[in-house]
């Protein structure tokens, strides 16, 4: 990250009094409190290098534009705030710099609040060059915010922020009250690193306002930030107020979109959205409401559809309730470029007239976009792509004019709306494709005179082109550079470490090996038999495998409750092992509480038998991925029980559950119970792949008469399986509206697979 660090005059005379501005060195909570109390404009309160635990910093004061009061690290990056800590800022011209929040979480609802109380609100204050890293609640169900912006003219800049796992937006801009509107907050040059999948709503990286305050003119500027692997929910940024600007941000392989959820008249200019060409959850811009201008944006290798489309223009609800979906009107989408994105434009997304028997009228999105212009855009695909438009309703309110594609378009808008044109694109660097000269005719709509520059900052007056890039770029020009984001002193780059292989020839060595291993290491089982007489805790990435896959080691489980206990960030891979229980225990369980971060499990080429459950989880736990391949499961009470999030608030216990080429025999209860309740559209919604498996003699003893329960899971693949001699009524119930259907399954004496078109779910709002 680039070297950009404020150097501030240290010893200055204030103009209004004779107090000397000064450097005050702080070494504990007490001296900090005292220093804040006495601080005058121009003072630097310097936290000496070290680790500060359980700090509740209340930073108030009145700096001036020329002489802010600054709370900062002695050496940026060498001051750590840990434990139950938080920071509240109230006053004017107060800066906080160079701190590193880690190994803890806030005991209040906010880590960094720009308000102490209603009387002490922050104005013209900055939180800059800091790191907040995995400073996440111990209990994944506790909602908090990491930064709450109140007041006006505050700045969040050059920070690295990553790893929030509990609900609540990472940054929240609050608009409740006239003191907080017209705020002109600057959220700039930050590096938003990995935000884990969350398995529930309220996982936004940034939220600006709420539906309740969505009428407010906010004027928040979110500019030049990097959002990398931000997978919290469908909305990476949720704009819920008026007149916000989103400019020159990079969204890199993030499973979500920039969403204009509530409020109107946003300006979305010069942003970059990069997908991987495969992941359908990586989105672009989703448009709701009125008067947005979407210009000069660059979209690359995006595959999303519907809510996650490269550009999703939604249907609204006629006379929508304040917290639902207003109609799209008066939106301008001009001079954008889509590269290697076959179907970039999705219209009437969310149209759900056919669901009127399961939803109330106030949920029916039937109002199509109106008075909206798509003009001067460019679409380039190296492979044939003749359907640039996908519409979920009639397209009658969009004006298409002077757009170009290098393929014929077979949509109804015709040549006049999207003209076919041979485009010579040059790949100048990773992700950056620049067109040669294209058509020289331009549509000049109302207000188009405001689009003066292109994505790269070139003046369009000096030779214009359709699409985001108006001129020849310099060879080798990068589309973006990670060094431009976040603090100067912090790097996410990690040295590659070679995994160690630790051999274990008996039970004690196995226990010791797991304990001693570093994350990523491999424990190799060299003996034939092991006994697990106490749960083995997994809080890192471990692969346990038999040294000879053809002669699998056997793990006899005598431990009382479970063989393996998953802890936050635990990642257990069992390969080529035989595991046997006594019928009462689980093979794998999670902590009962404080599962603050996600875990992963893989079972490959293994044989498990005589367990209560293969996997049983606690309510607040969440697995990113559970993967089963080429394994056999026999004599169980149940298989994979990911069914504890039954509050029906859109949450669920695992994001990806994939079971392939495996067999289940004599499972008394269910093979899989994977639950997501509540009518929520924020998340990926769960993914179950159950493919090429064989299930026999199972389901004898259960109330529900069902082998695979996937209630409310959005993405389900049920393909190529054989179900035989299972005394149940139903194998599975699929959800028709989500395009779920059984494919090539063989069902013999095992009930049937049914499809329910519209699932009745609890409304959440």
Residue 413 and residue 34: Cα distance in Å, rounded? 69
Applying CB under 8 A, among 85, 242, 244, 306 the residue interacting with a copy of itself is 242
CB of 718 to a copy of itself, least distance (A): 38
Q: Quick check: 651 binds a copy of itself (CB under 8 A)?
A: no
Residue 275 interacts with a copy of itself (CB under 8 A): yes or no: no
Instruction: Indicate whether 336 belongs to the interface with a copy of itself (CB under 8 A).
Output: no
Nearest approach, Cβ of residue 242 and a copy of itself (Å): 8
323 binds a copy of itself (CB under 8 A): yes
User: Binding to a copy of itself (CB under 8 A): which residues in 515-544?
Assistant: none
Q: Which of 104, 154, 109, 100 is nearest to 127 (CA)?
A: 154
Instruction: Between 527 and 764, name the residue whose CB sits nearer to a copy of itself.
Output: 764
Q: Is 356 in the site for a copy of itself (CB under 8 A)?
A: no
Q: How many residues bind a copy of itself (CB under 8 A)?
A: 31
Nearer to a copy of itself, 105 or 219 (CB): 219
Q: Taking contact as CB under 8 A, which single stretch among the options 90-98, 321-329, 454-462, 579-587 is the one that binds a copy of itself?
A: 321-329
DSSP state of 394: -
State the minimum distance, in angstroms, from the CB of residue 614 to a copy of itself.
Answer: 44
Question: Among residues 177 and 727, whose Cβ is nearest to a copy of itself?
Answer: 177
DSSP 83-144: EE-EEEEEEESEEEES-EEEEEE-SSSEEEESEEETTEEEES-EEES-EEES---SSTT---
Q: Which residue has the tokens 């090539």?
A: 744
Q: Residue written as tokens 């109230």?
A: 90
Q: Among 147, 314, 332, 617, which residue sits at the site for a copy of itself (rule: CB under 8 A)?
A: 332
DSSP reduced 3-state for 694: strand
Closest CB to a copy of itself among 61 and 316? 316
CB of 179 to a copy of itself, least distance (A): 5
Q: Which residues contact 505 (CB under 8 A, 6 or more apart)?
A: 526, 527
Torsion of CA 224, 225, 226, 232, to 10 degrees: -140
Q: Which of 33, 120, 142, 177 binds a copy of itself (CB under 8 A)?
A: 177
Strand partners, 580: 556, 609
Question: Could you say which of 179, 305, 607, 668 contacts a copy of itself (CB under 8 A)?
Answer: 179
> Minimal distance in Å, beta carbon 41 to a copy of itself?
21
* Min separation Cβ 654 and a copy of itself, Å: 32
| Sequence-separated (6 or more) residues with CB below 8 Å from residue 361 | none
Instruction: Give the angle subtended at the CA of 572 by the CAs of 504 and 547, to the nearest 5°.
Output: 35
Does 703 bind a copy of itself (CB under 8 A)? Our answer is no
Would you count residue 681 as binding a copy of itself (CB under 8 A)? no
Give the one residue of 108, 211, 646, 666 binding a copy of itself; rule: CB under 8 A.
211
Kindly tell me which of 324 and 573 has the beta carbon lying closer to a copy of itself: 324
Tokens of 485: 């984001």
Of the two residues 288 and 514, which places its CB atom closer to a copy of itself in the complex? 288
Looking only at residues 447 through 476 of this chain, which bind a copy of itself when binding is defined by CB under 8 A?
Answer: 447
Interacting stretch for a copy of itself, rule CB under 8 A, among 209-217, 564-572, 589-597, 692-700? 209-217
Pick the stretch among 289-297, 499-507, 595-603, 638-646 that binds a copy of itself (CB under 8 A).
289-297
Assess 493 for contact with a copy of itself (CB under 8 A).
no
- 765 binding a copy of itself? (CB under 8 A): yes
Sequence-distant (≥ 6) Cβ neighbours of residue 203 within 8 angstroms: 164, 167, 169, 195, 232, 233, 682, 683
CB closer to a copy of itself, 329 vs 697: 329
CB of 681 to a copy of itself, least distance (A): 17
Three-class SS state of 520: coil
Instruction: Name which of 318 and 520 has its Cβ closer to a copy of itself.
Output: 318
- Count Cβ atoms within 10 A of the Cβ of residue 102 and give its class: 0-12 exposed, 13-18 middle, 19 or more buried: middle
According to DSSP, residue 431 is labeled T
- The verdict on 178 binding a copy of itself (CB under 8 A) reads yes
Residue 362 as a binder of a copy of itself (CB under 8 A): the answer is yes
- When the beta carbons of 445 and 520 are compared against a copy of itself, the nearer one is 445
Instruction: Tell which phi-psi region holds residue 243, choosing left (phi > 0), alpha (psi between -120 and 50) or beta.
Output: left
Report the distance separating Cα 232 and Cα 246, nearest Å. Answer: 19
Among 321, 414, 436, 583, binds a copy of itself (CB under 8 A): 321
**Whether the Cβ atoms of residue 52 and residue 75 lie closer than 8 Å to each other:** no
Distance of alpha carbon 264 from its chain centroid, rounded? Answer: 24
Task: Give the number of C-alpha atoms closer than 13 A to the C-alpha of residue 359, restricted to the C-beta side.
Answer: 21
Question: What is the rounded CA–CA span in Å between residue 315 and residue 352?
Answer: 9
Strands (E), 165-266: 171-173, 186-188, 191-192, 206-208, 221-223, 226-228, 235-240, 245-247, 250-252, 257-262
- Total length of the chain: 765
Least distance in angstroms from the C-beta of 322 to a copy of itself: 5
Grouping H, G, I as helix, E, B as strand and the rest as coil, residue 210 is: coil
Q: Which residues contact 34 (CB under 8 A, 6 or more apart)?
A: none
Identity of the residue, 322 or 743, whose beta carbon is nearer to a copy of itself in the bound complex: 322
What residues numbered 119-148 form the site for a copy of itself, per CB under 8 A?
none
In angstroms, the Cα distances linking 143 to 110, 162, 597, 738 are: 9, 16, 14, 29
Determine if 319 is a binding residue for a copy of itself (CB under 8 A). yes
Does residue number 62 form part of the binding site for a copy of itself (CB under 8 A)? Answer: no
Counting contacts by CB under 8 A, is residue 326 touching a copy of itself? yes
CB of 327 to a copy of itself, least distance (A): 8
Give the Cα separation of 584 and 162 in Å (integer). 40
Which of 214-222, 305-313, 460-468, 585-593 is the region at the interface with a copy of itself (rule: CB under 8 A)?
A: 214-222
Q: Does 181 bind a copy of itself (CB under 8 A)?
A: yes
Closer residue to a copy of itself in complex, CB, 186/241: 241
Contact 162, 194 (CB under 8 A): yes
Q: Between 2 and 153, whose beta carbon lies closer to a copy of itself?
A: 153
- Check residue 290 and report its DSSP letter: B
Q: Which residues, 252 to 271, sit near a copy of itself by CB under 8 A?
A: 264-265
For a copy of itself, the closer of residues 316 and 486 by Cβ is 316
Q: Which of 98, 291, 310, 568 binds a copy of itself (CB under 8 A)?
A: 291
Eight-state DSSP code of residue 361: G
Binding site for a copy of itself (CB under 8 A): 176-179, 181, 211, 213, 215-217, 242, 264-265, 289-291, 319-324, 326, 329-330, 332, 362, 371, 446-447, 765
């Amino acid at each position: 990250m680039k070297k950009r660090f404020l150097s501030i005059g240290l010893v200055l005379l204030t103009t209004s009094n004779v107090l000397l501005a000064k450097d005050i060195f702080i070494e504990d909570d007490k001296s900090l409190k005292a220093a804040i109390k006495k601080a005058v404009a121009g003072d630097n309160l310097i936290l000496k290098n070290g680790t500060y635990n359980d700090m509740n910093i209340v930073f108030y004061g009145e700096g001036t534009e020329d002489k802010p009061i600054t709370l900062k690290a002695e050496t940026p990056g060498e001051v750590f705030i840990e434990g139950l800590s938080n920071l509240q800022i109230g006053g004017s011209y107060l800066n906080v710099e160079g701190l590193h929040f880690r190994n803890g979480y806030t005991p209040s609802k906010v880590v960094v609040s720009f308000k102490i109380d209603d009387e002490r609100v922050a104005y013209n204050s900055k939180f800059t060059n800091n790191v907040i890293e995995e400073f996440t609640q111990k209990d994944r169900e506790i909602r908090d915010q990491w930064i709450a912006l109140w007041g006006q003219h505050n700045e969040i800049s050059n920070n690295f922020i990553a790893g929030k796992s509990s609900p609540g937006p990472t940054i929240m801009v609050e608009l409740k009250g006239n003191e907080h509107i017209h705020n002109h907050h600057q959220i700039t040059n930050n590096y938003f690193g990995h935000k884990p999948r969350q398995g529930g709503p309220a996982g936004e990286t940034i939220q600006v306002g709420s539906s309740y305050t969505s009428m407010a003119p906010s004027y928040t500027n979110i500019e030049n930030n990097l959002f990398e692997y931000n997978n919290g929910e469908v909305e990476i940024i949720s704009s819920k107020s008026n007149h916000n600007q989103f400019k020159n941000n990079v969204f890199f392989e993030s499973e979500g979109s920039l969403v204009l959820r509530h409020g109107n008249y946003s300006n979305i200019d010069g942003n970059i959205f990069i997908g991987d060409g495969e992941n359908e959850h990586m989105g672009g811009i989703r448009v709701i409401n009125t008067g947005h201008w979407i210009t000069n944006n660059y979209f690359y290798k995006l595959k999303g559809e519907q809510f996650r489309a490269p550009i999703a223009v939604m249907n609204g609800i006629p006379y929508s309730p304040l917290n639902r979906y207003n109609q799209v009107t008066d939106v301008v989408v001009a001079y954008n470029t889509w590269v290697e994105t076959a179907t970039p434009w999705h219209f009437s997304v969310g149209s759900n007239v056919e669901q009127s028997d399961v939803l109330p009228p106030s949920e029916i999105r039937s109002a199509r976009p109106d008075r909206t212009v798509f003009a001067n855009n460019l679409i380039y695909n190296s492979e044939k792509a003749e359907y640039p438009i996908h519409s979920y309703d009639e397209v009658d309110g969009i004006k298409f004019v002077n757009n170009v594609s290098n393929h014929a378009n077979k949509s109804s808008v015709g040549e006049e709306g999207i003209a076919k044109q041979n485009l010579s694109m040059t790949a100048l660097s990773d992700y950056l494709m620049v067109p040669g000269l294209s058509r020289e005719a331009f549509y000049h709509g109302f207000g188009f005179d405001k689009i003066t520059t292109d994505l790269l900052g070139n003046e369009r007056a000096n030779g214009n082109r359709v699409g985001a890039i108006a001129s020849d770029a310099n060879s080798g020009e990068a589309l973006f550079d990670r060094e431009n984001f976040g603090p100067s002193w912090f790097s996410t780059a990690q040295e590659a470490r070679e995994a160690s292989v630790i051999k274990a020839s008996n039970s004690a060595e196995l226990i010791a090996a797991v304990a001693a291993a570093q994350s990523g290491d491999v424990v190799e089982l060299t003996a034939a038999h092991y006994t697990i007489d106490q749960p083995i805790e997994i809080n890192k990435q471990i692969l346990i495998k038999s040294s000879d896959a053809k002669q699998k080691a056997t793990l006899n489980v005598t431990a009382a409750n479970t063989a393996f206990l998953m802890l936050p960030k635990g990642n257990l891979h069992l390969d080529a092992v035989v595991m046997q229980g006594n019928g009462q225990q689980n093979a794998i369980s999670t902590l009962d509480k404080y599962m603050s971060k996600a875990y992963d499990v893989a079972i490959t080429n293994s044989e498990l038998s005589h367990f209560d459950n293969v996997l049983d989880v606690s309510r607040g736990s969440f697995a990113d991925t559970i993967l089963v391949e080429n394994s056999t499961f026999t004599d169980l009470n149940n298989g994979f029980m990911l069914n504890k999030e039954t509050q029906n608030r859109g949450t669920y216990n695992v994001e990806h559950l994939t079971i392939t080429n495996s067999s289940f025999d004599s499972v008394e209860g269910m093979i899989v119970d994977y639950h997501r309740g509540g009518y929520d559209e924020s998340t990926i919604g769960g993914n179950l792949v159950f493919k090429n498996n064989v299930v026999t003699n199972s389901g004898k003893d259960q109330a529900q008469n069902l082998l695979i329960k996937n209630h409310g899971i959005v993405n389900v693949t049920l393909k190529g399986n054989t179900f035989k001699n299972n005394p149940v009524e139903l194998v599975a119930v699929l959800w028709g509206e989500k395009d779920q259907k059984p494919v090539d399954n063989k069902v013999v004496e095992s009930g049937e697979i049914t499809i329910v078109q519209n699932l009745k779910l609890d409304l959440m709002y």
